[in-house]
Structure 1
Amino acid sequence: MRTSLLRKNMRLSLWHGAFFTAATTIVTTFFPLFLIDYLHASAQLVGLSSALPALAALIASLVLMVRLPKTPALLSWTTHSFLATRLSYLLIAVAPWLTPHHAALAAVLILTVGNIPQTWGLMGWQTIIGHAIPPLVRESFFSYRSIVTTLVALVVSLVTGLITQWGGSHTGLFLKAFFILAAGLGIAEVITLARHRLPVRPPAATPVIPPIAWRAIWQNPVFVRYLVLSAFFNFGWQMSWPLFSLYQIGQAHATALWLGLFTVAALISQAISFPSWRALARRQGGMRALGISALGLASVPWLTVLSRNLWILTGVNFESGLFLSGVNLLLFTELLAHIPPAYRTQYIVMYNVALGAVAFIAPEFGIVALHQWHMHGAMVLSSIWRACGAITFLAIGTSVARKRAQIVRP
């Protein structure tokens, strides 16, 4: 790949990441507050706000198994997918006016439908990055990109929380305005992504690669092992997602400002810890580093329910960010390391189908656990589940490292 093209793609990817993060941070951080405090959604509907978008992602992934976009049209298809999702933010903002008696349900359904093109866009973006950023610089670039996007999310969360809190009784109106702003930022994101240019190789140098059968992917033991481990850990990770919103907003009575501070605390610690996880992955191997970061993340649900003090919860979010940065970075880089480059798109689709099923079931399981064992028991179960997945990552990574050492040893 030419150096000038690589630099251009890396620069555009940084801008794309900044706009993408700004738009999605506004929605993901403050949608639960909008849903619970302003639209007065029930616990079941809060759970569905995590489960139904995951079901939509699963459906979107299954569609891709039937019809995959060709590489020349991949960039256009990805940008159109992201554009559709960002425009759905406008509908969320006007949901209380469109359906005043069922606004909470309408907002959840809009978020759900918008997650279908969002899933297509994310899968397309993963494939584009695989083509645009070569493996030798991918890890270092993503570490730097993660720092940039983390700082953007930090500023956006703090500003949104402060302004919304300042609105007082007009919190809902301010949140609507910010959802509209998120749509505008999303349009800037799409424009930036469309300016990426994939490297073009001479036809003579491009090998003809026959399509791979979907069942053949399941015959790849390295990929299947990573998929099963990721699905197991993600189940324990995601089952507590709606519980955090219910606890922080419903029981600890966190306002928009406090939600912004929670996010800021987590993002500051992520920015601090990203380089450390990159360095640890180089020294210990990606799987072992992933296991360590996942083990730290396992403590978060248990620590959360120890107190309703908002300052303590801010500290817990800071601790969460220290390990969340490693999990987010390494889950993606290890996925790319466990799939053959020639069939990257097909493997990513299969991975997202499996994890989409987990993401649909896990939040609903979390709500069932909430009713069965109350908040404390459900959160402790999530911590134990996460810890088991983390220990498995760690064990597999250690085993792989030992085998490599034996091969290298004379």
Structure 2
Amino acid sequence: LRQRLTKLFSQIATPYPTDNTTAIQRHGMRVNWWSSVISSVSGAFYTDFVTIYMLALGATAATVGLRASINSAAALAAPLLGAWLVEQTGKRKALILLWPGFISRLMLLLMALIPFLAQGKMAVTLFVVLVALQAFSDTLAGPAANSLLGDIVPIAVRGRYVGAQMIAGLIVRIAVLPLAGMLIKRVGGLAGYQLAWCLAALIGFLATWLYAQLPEPQCVESQGKKGDALHSFVEGWRVFSRDRRFVAFCAAHFIWNFGVSFAGPFFQVHMVEDLGFNVETIALLATITTPVNVLGYWLAGHWVDRAGAQRAMSVSMLFVPLLPVIWIFARSPWHVGLIQSYGFLAWAGFHVASTPLILAITPPEYRSRYIAIYNTFNAVASMISPLAAGWVYSHWGFTANCVGSAIGRGLGGFLFLLLVKTGSLGAATLTPVRVKKAPILTRKG
């Protein structure tokens, strides 16, 4: 009985693969896992209600689209700045604890205070500014977080680990999201949103404390790169520009994200303003369809480790472009539930494969910088697209946004499939190339 209980406890404590991992890797995976779970609890209290909170403060549909663009603009320079800080300091964990761990969660508390500080347009403006600062904080540490994850989680188990991590987040979502929706409705008015945001911040700070226990391996990216910031920045762009495969990869995802953002900000607006859904209905739909998302992530995690991240992402990018087209025909909650279920299955391969793929095709010596450049491309697309999408929405409505989104997604997916089909993507193999001031690494084969 003791052995069975010990085995059960071990499976609960580490519900992810640990094949051929070292003790420090297992410790890091465990700390990262539980910090992520607690962060998911925090996110469940507010993420799905951001747009509705904005509307309650008095925002218009155009303002919702503008908020998405401002978020992307605020986060535009953040990845490059974050990568530079990693290379100059080598302190990846400290960056994560400071920016998303502390500042981002402080913004949640300030958002909760908005109704006490301002009303009308001023309240909406203040909310948009705080959300933008939160986006900047979260994005700045993105390269550091991915780089650290690459050192902690071995490549052989990354797909299953990331998939299991996403599943855990979704299970938390099933449990917490209805509670958050009922809490907001029961308290009523703006006070309901304020309470939800306060709880999200407090729980988030607990996740920050836990992440502080994460072991940090030595950062190879900072070795030999401290000093001249301008030269380091120029060198990074030179390395990137010589890597034509990664440039093409970024271009395909730029078009893809432009298409995604062309309709993304307006799905909740459409449900509230056109279909007449209330916050409880939206929360219930998210809860009911989450098991489908869990199934998708579980299948995708095993698929990525078995068939490879490239293949998983390729198949996903074939089916996702159909999603906005199907949204055009939604008329009732059960229609939306079916559409969301299809969307979760279609997106699962893309989401689970993203981190293993970017870690596989980037050189460890420049990983943060490569990830930062990739994120910058995506941020530019996400900044430009909602501006055009907001104008289209106000003139032609939701259907036009869905059609435009499908076209953008389809084109981006086609370009990525072309890269995979021609064998243009592959694991990073670096060879030194002599240049005037420092060795530049390019990829071979």
After TM superposition, the score normalised by the length of structure 1 is 0.89
Deviation at 1:57, TM superposition (A): 0.7
Give the equivalent residue in structure 1 for 2:331: 308
| CA distances 1:261-314 after superposition (whole Å, capped 9, x unpaired) | 232244322210113223433554422321221222222222222123122112
Give the equivalent residue in structure 2 for 1:336: 359
Q: Out of 413, 419, 423, which is 1:400 matched to?
A: 423
Q: In structure 2, what residue type is equivalent to 1:42?
A: T
* Corresponding position: 1:143 with 2:163: yes
Give the equivalent residue in structure 2 for 1:12: 31
1:243-392 equivalences under 5 Å are: 243-282=266-305, 284-392=307-415
Give the equivalent residue in structure 2 for 1:117: 137
Divergent runs of 4+, >6 A: 401-404
| CA distances 1:75-121 after superposition (whole Å, capped 9, x unpaired) | 11210111100110011111111112321121111111222111123
Paired-residue identity, %: 21
Measured in 1, the distance between the counterparts of 2:116 and 2:265 equals: 26
Q: In structure 2, what residue type is equivalent to 1:399?
A: T
Give the equivalent residue in structure 1 for 2:92: 74
Deviation at 1:214, TM superposition (A): 2.1
Q: Out of 26, 29, 42, which is 1:23 matched to?
A: 42
Deviation at 1:66, TM superposition (A): 5.5
Give the equivalent residue in structure 2 for 1:196: 214
Deviation at 1:325, TM superposition (A): 2.0
Greater CA deviation, 218-227 or 387-396? 387-396
Measured in 2, the distance between the counterparts of 1:2 and 1:388 equals: 40
Measured in 1, the distance between the counterparts of 2:182 and 2:385 equals: 32
Measured in 2, the distance between the counterparts of 1:71 and 1:197 equals: 17
Measured in 2, the distance between the counterparts of 1:46 and 1:310 equals: 22
Deviation at 1:372, TM superposition (A): 4.0
Query: Aligned in 2, Cα 1:402/1:219: closer, same or farther, shift over 3 Å?
Result: closer
Q: Is the 8 A contact 2:159 2:302 kept in 1?
A: no
Measured in 1, the distance between the counterparts of 2:22 and 2:84 equals: 36
| CA distances 1:207-232 after superposition (whole Å, capped 9, x unpaired) | 96566532221211221121111111
Measured in 2, the distance between the counterparts of 1:188 and 1:402 equals: 39
After TM superposition, the score normalised by the length of structure 2 is 0.83
| CA distances 1:127-150 after superposition (whole Å, capped 9, x unpaired) | 211222222222221121111112
Q: Secondary structure at the match of 2:72?
A: helix
Measured in 1, the distance between the counterparts of 2:34 and 2:284 equals: 24
Give the equivalent residue in structure 1 for 2:151: 131
Unaligned runs of 5+ in 1: 405-410
Query: Aligned in 2, Cα 1:281/1:400: closer, same or farther, shift over 3 Å?
Result: farther
Q: Is the 8 A contact 1:81 1:117 kept in 2?
A: yes
Deviation at 1:193, TM superposition (A): 1.2
Unaligned runs of 5+ in 2: 1-19, 226-231, 428-445
Measured in 2, the distance between the counterparts of 1:398 and 1:63 equals: 34
Count of residue pairs brought into register by the alignment: 398
Q: Out of 68, 71, 75, which is 1:57 matched to?
A: 75
Give the equivalent residue in structure 2 for 1:407: none
Give the equivalent residue in structure 2 for 1:408: none
Q: Out of 196, 200, 225, which is 2:248 matched to?
A: 225
Q: Is the 8 A contact 2:62 2:394 kept in 1?
A: no
Judging by fraction of residues, say which structure has more helix: 1
Query: Aligned in 2, Cα 1:68/1:115: closer, same or farther, shift over 3 Å?
Result: same
Q: Secondary structure at the match of 1:172?
A: helix
Q: In structure 2, what residue type is equivalent to 1:180?
A: C
Q: Is the 8 A contact 1:19 1:185 kept in 2?
A: yes
Measured in 1, the distance between the counterparts of 2:186 and 2:30 equals: 36
Q: Is the 8 A contact 2:66 2:390 kept in 1?
A: no
Measured in 2, the distance between the counterparts of 1:214 and 1:292 equals: 31
Query: Aligned in 2, Cα 1:338/1:265: closer, same or farther, shift over 3 Å?
Result: farther
Deviation at 1:403, TM superposition (A): 11
Q: In structure 2, what residue type is equivalent to 1:289?
A: A
Q: Is the 8 A contact 1:266 1:319 kept in 2?
A: no
| CA distances 1:36-93 after superposition (whole Å, capped 9, x unpaired) | 1x11211221112211111111032343466445454221121011110011001111
Q: In structure 1, what residue type is equivalent to 2:207?
A: E
Deviation at 1:360, TM superposition (A): 0.8
* Corresponding position: 1:87 with 2:87: no
Q: In structure 2, what residue type is equivalent to 1:136?
A: A
Q: In structure 2, what residue type is equivalent to 1:308?
A: R
